[in-house]
Structure 1
Amino acid sequence: MDDQLQELYAFLFAPERCFIADEEEWIEGGVGEFLETIRSFLEARGVVLEISNEQIGKDEGYSLAVNGEVVVLYTEAELAVTRGQETLARTTAPVNRLLTEADAAEQMYCYSGWNDLAVIFLTLAEHAKACATLEAAGYEFPEIPYDPAVATNLL
C-alpha cells in the first residue's frame, strides 16, 4: 500500500472519528445500542440524542425513535429482498440531520465491508479528499449515506 493510502486509512480509522460496529448486529436490532456508543461524540458537537421505542419483530420489521421521530429501519418485506442494507442509510439520515441542525462540521458515513462496519465522522472537505485519494488509487469507499434514488454515489 502506498504512503498516501496508509496516511488516509490512519486518518479515517483514528479512534476520535471512527467507531467500529458489526453490520449484522445492526440488522438484528443493535442500532440503538450502537447509537449509545456515539452519544458522547455527538454531545460534544451539540447534538442531543434520545433513543426510545426500539422494536424488532418477525412481522413488524425494525424501528426505533430518534428524538421522538420514529425511524423504520426496515420492514420484513424489505429484509427478505435487501437483507437489511437500508438500515445503514436509515440510521445515518437522522443522525446527520441532527448534526446539521447543531451546525456540526462532520457528517456520519458508514464504511461497509460485508459484516464489518466502520462509522466515520468527516467534514465535507475530509470526505472529498478521502474520495479523491481512493479514486486515484483505483478504490472506492463504500459509503453510506447515499441518495436512494441514485444508489451509485458510494464513496
Structure 2
Amino acid sequence: MGKASDFNPLNRVASVLARYIKRVLTNPATEATYSQPSWSSAQIIGPHKGQVVMDVIGKLLDQLEQLGYYKYMETELVAEAKAQATESGYIYGDTVYKYTDEENIATLVKRAYDADAEDLAECGMEKFLTIIRPFLEAQGVEISSVEEECGENGYTTWVNGTEYVMYSARELRSENLRRSRVPGGIWALTTYRSFAMINGLLETAGSDERIYMYDDGAQGGAVFLTPEMYKLIRESTAISERTKPKAVDEESG
C-alpha cells in the first residue's frame, strides 16, 4: 500500500523552522551560540558540578552495565563508550542516524533512536520500523511485512498483517484534539500509539526490553531499556527530569 500524504509542504517548512527556533531559544547551551550537547545542554541537573558530575555519571553507567546496557555493542568498545558518555553527560549515546560517525563510539550502544513526533505522524512509521528492525529482531520480534496508508483518511499501519491505527480521519480533522487528553495533537497521538504497538510486539516475543520516550533537546528520542534500567535512570539524580525516559502510559494518561 502506498503513501498518499496530503500535507502542505509550506506548512512543513514553517513547522521545521518553528521547531528549530524553539530549540535554540529553549536550550541552555544556546545562550551564546548553539552547540553540541555538553554538561549544560545534555542530561545533567543543577546540583552536580564538574568532577562530581562525572563521578555520578560514571557510577550510573557502571550500574547500567551490570544490567546489560552495553550488551548489544562490541565488548572491546564498552570502556570507550562509557568514557565518552561520562565526559559528555549524554548517557544514551548519539542516536542511530549518526551511526556512521566512527569517532562517536556511543552510537554503537544501539539503544537510542531519533523519534521525531512530526516525522512519525507524517507517514514515518515504515521508515522508523526499518531503522529499529535490527534491535527488534535481536529480541525475537519477527517482521515479515510492513504496509501503511497515510493521508486525508487518517494513518494506518499494518505489521505482519495486523492493523494499527495511528490516527483516524476524524482525529485528523478534529479541531479539539490539541485540547483533549492527548497534548500535541496527532504528533503525540502517533507517538503514543506507535510505541504501544512496538511494546506489544516486544511483549509477544517474550522480551523484557521496552521502548521509552525521552526529550533529546531537539526532535525527540526513543530509547530501549529493561524495567530495571528504566527504574535506575528514573531514580538517578544525574539525569535531568526533562530527559529522563518516559513510558507511554505516563505520557498518554
Report the equivalent of 1:27: 121
Q: Which has the higher strand share?
A: 1
Q: Which has the larger radius of gyration?
A: 2
Aligned length: 148
- Identity of matched residues, %: 29
Alignment of 1:7-26 (within 5 A): 7=86, 10-13=90-93, 14-15=106-107, 16-26=110-120
Give the TM-score normalised by the residue count of structure 2: 0.51
What is the TM-score when the length of structure 1 is the normalising length? 0.79
The 1:103–1:21 alpha-carbon spacing in structure 2 relative to 1, beyond 3 Å, is same
Q: Helix, strand or coil for the counterpart of 1:105? A: coil
- How far did 1:69 drift? 1.2
Structure 2: runs of 5+ lacking an equivalent: 1-43, 45-52, 58-84, 94-105, 178-184
The root-mean-square deviation of aligned C-alpha atoms, in Å, is: 2.7
Residue 105 and residue 83 in structure 1: after superposition, are their counterparts in 2 closer, same or farther (change >3 A)?
closer
- 1:70 pairs with 2:163: yes
List gaps (5 residues or longer) in structure 1. Answer: none
Q: CA deviation at 1:22?
A: 2.4
Task: Tell me by how many angstroms 1:111 deviates.
Answer: 1.6
CA contact (8 A) 1:51 1:66 kept: yes
SS of the aligned residue for 2:220 comes to: strand
Deviations 1:93-133 (A, max 9, x none): 12111211222121011224586121100000110111111
Change (3 A) 1:24 1:131: same
Matches within 5 A, 1:99-114: 99-112=202-215
In the alignment, what sits opposite 2:199?
96
- Partner SS for 1:95: helix
> What SS does the aligned partner of 1:65 have?
strand
Q: Do 2:112 and 2:223's aligned partners in 1 also have CA atoms closer than 8 Å? A: yes
